[in-house]
């Protein structure tokens, strides 16, 4: 059936992908009858496209406004819906009040399992989410048509999202062929999930995996969606998302449900720049889902990004080599806190590498001298690793609608680029420019602090310019403004990158 859906996508010249057709077919299956307007709302497609889609369904013999018996059988087999609870599916996807009550009821049912989870290992940025959060995250797979007849990866699962997913799956479609795989570095977590999966006959497979190693070929390009709650560092998020990208099927509109600590506007901008550079589309950012138990560093909350893949996916970190840089908060921001016992005045240091990594652990065990459980903070030290140092500043300048004659004049371009370097107060070392036949110029100005480069396409009125420096003292914007003015560009964009961070 997947090939038929792909063919329909081609016939319709549909940009969205055949997964949109899956969403429409599930709506027809469970709702029994759907108007063109309601399907447009469900699929986010314009009404003319929905009409064309329904005609294509009718050509296959599946029905138009409602499914034929052939259509019902085909969809039931494709999504493995034998024994599915249609009422529950409809209520969870259309009734917000019922959905809230369902989460409350099932939170009580799962609490015993979740309360027995291993303690959080703060050295690898673990923070256990609440049962309610786990169920809300699981329901996202239902909302985005990623639950039925899919392969789901949980990349790092101290939150036990795999358990919530399998639990939801059994409630809605107990005979579904959906597979859930957990890759995690914490053997305690893997052991407990594995035991629960066996005891409750859940479709979960657990595998030990260190995300700093390349993703095994067995799991490359195999999954429809990925759940990941990454370390609280930018580089940690970039690494986990790169591995998630390697795990997803190489098609557009696959999903990553990505949880990450809410940060300052500057750090949020850096994160979203990374997501854009990797080729992700941010479908939504949810602030009403993630709540954690005792996660003071997060304020007990975090944001959840719903990411969609595109045809332009590029992992930030390649999969063929082991990644050796620190990725966890305790490695990058090496924090130690000295506490004093209120009763006997004994001083203890808490942090990664010491007997107690958190104050909660110290309070639980009590003072080793007198067993008192109350402490006062004396001193707090945070030391950043040298990996946070920026070694280069890089501006990517896009000039459109430029003076066409200028774009093919090698002497004038050489003069402008050398003058731009001087405007930035850089020291020019040498330069080289080449005029291609019949048109187009490439050139470089080597400066003591790095370089400026240019490539022109006169036939498009376009020039691509890079300004790169290892010095923070140069005035790069002076160079940008000078170049923009001289090329008489009608449309200018620039991207700023930190290099070596």
Query: Which sequence positions are flagged as catalytic?
Result: 450, 455, 470
Per-residue three-class SS string for 245-290 = HHHECCCCCCEEEEEECCCCHHHHHHHHHHHHHHCCEEEEEEEEEE
Query: Residues 327, 212: contact at Cβ < 8 Å?
Result: yes
Q: What's the CA gap between 233 and 169, in Å, rounded?
A: 32
User: 3-class DSSP state for residue 493?
Assistant: strand
Tokens standing for residue 111: 């609490």
The residues, ordered by sequence, that sit 6+ positions from 288 with a Cβ below 8 Å of its Cβ are none
Tokens standing for residue 66: 């409602």
Tell me the β-bridge partners of 18.
none
Tokens standing for residue 35: 């108007």
CA nearest to 302, candidates 60, 125, 500? 125
Strand order, beta sheet including 491-499: 428-435, 441-447, 450-457, 462-469, 392-400, 491-499
Q: Could you count the other beta carbons within 10 Å of the beta carbon of residue 82?
A: 11
The residues, ordered by sequence, that sit 6+ positions from 318 with a Cβ below 8 Å of its Cβ are 242
User: 3-class DSSP state for residue 421?
Assistant: helix
Query: Residues 183, 229: contact at Cβ < 8 Å?
Result: no
Q: What's the CA gap between 265 and 166, in Å, rounded?
A: 36
Tokens standing for residue 462: 């376009």
Tokens standing for residue 28: 């027809």
């Amino acid at each position: 059936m997947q090939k038929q859906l792909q063919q329909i996508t081609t016939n319709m010249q549909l940009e969205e992908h055949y997964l949109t057709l899956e969403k429409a077919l599930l709506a027809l299956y469970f709702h029994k009858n759907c108007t063109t307007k309601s399907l447009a709302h469900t699929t986010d497609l314009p009404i003319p496209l929905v009409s064309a889609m329904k005609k294509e369904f009718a050509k296959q013999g599946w029905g138009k406004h409602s499914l034929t018996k052939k259509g019902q059988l085909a969809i039931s087999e494709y999504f493995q819906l034998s024994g599915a609870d249609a009422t529950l599916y409809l209520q969870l996807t259309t009734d917000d009040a019922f959905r809230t009550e369902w989460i409350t009821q099932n939170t009580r049912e799962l609490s015993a399992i979740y309360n027995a989870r291993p303690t959080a290992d703060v050295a690898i940025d673990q923070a256990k989410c609440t049962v309610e959060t786990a169920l809300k995250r699981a329901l996202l797979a239902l909302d985005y048509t990623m639950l039925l007849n899919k392969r789901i990866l949980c990349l790092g699962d101290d939150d036990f999202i795999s358990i919530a997913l399998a639990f939801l799956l059994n409630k809605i479609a107990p005979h579904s062929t959906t597979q859930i795989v957990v890759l995690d570095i914490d053997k305690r977590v893997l052991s407990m999930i594995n035991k629960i999966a066996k005891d409750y006959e859940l479709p979960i497979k657990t595998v030990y995996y260190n995300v700093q190693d390349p993703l095994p070929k067995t799991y490359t390009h195999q999954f429809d969606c990925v759940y990941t709650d990454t370390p609280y560092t930018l580089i940690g998020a970039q690494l986990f998302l790169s591995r998630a990208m390697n795990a997803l099927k190489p098609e557009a509109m696959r999903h990553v449900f990505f949880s990450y600590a809410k940060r300052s506007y500057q750090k949020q901008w850096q994160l979203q720049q990374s997501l854009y550079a990797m080729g992700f589309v941010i479908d939504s950012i949810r602030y009403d889902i993630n709540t954690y138990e005792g996660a003071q560093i997060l304020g007990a909350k975090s944001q959840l990004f719903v990411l969609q893949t595109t045809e332009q996916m590029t992992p930030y970190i390649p999969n063929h080599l082991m990644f050796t840089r620190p990725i966890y908060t305790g490695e990058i921001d090496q924090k130690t806190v000295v506490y004093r016992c209120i009763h006997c005045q004994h001083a203890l240091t808490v942090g990664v590498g010491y007997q107690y990594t958190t104050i909660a652990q110290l309070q639980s065990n009590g003072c080793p001298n007198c067993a008192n459980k109350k402490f006062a903070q004396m001193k707090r030290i945070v030391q950043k690793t040298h990996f946070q140092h920026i070694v280069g500043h890089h501006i990517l300048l896009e000039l459109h609608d430029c003076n066409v004659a200028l774009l093919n004049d090698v002497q004038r371009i050489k003069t402008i680029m050398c003058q731009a370097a001087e405007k930035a107060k850089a020291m020019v070392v040498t330069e080289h420019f080449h005029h291609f036949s019949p048109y187009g110029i490439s050139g470089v100005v080597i400066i003591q602090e790095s370089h400026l480069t240019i490539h022109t396409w006169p036939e498009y009125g376009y020039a691509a310019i890079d300004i790169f420096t290892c010095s923070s003292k140069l005035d790069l914007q002076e160079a940008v403004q000078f170049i923009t003015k001289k090329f008489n560009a009608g449309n200018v964009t620039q991207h700023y990158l930190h290099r070596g961070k």
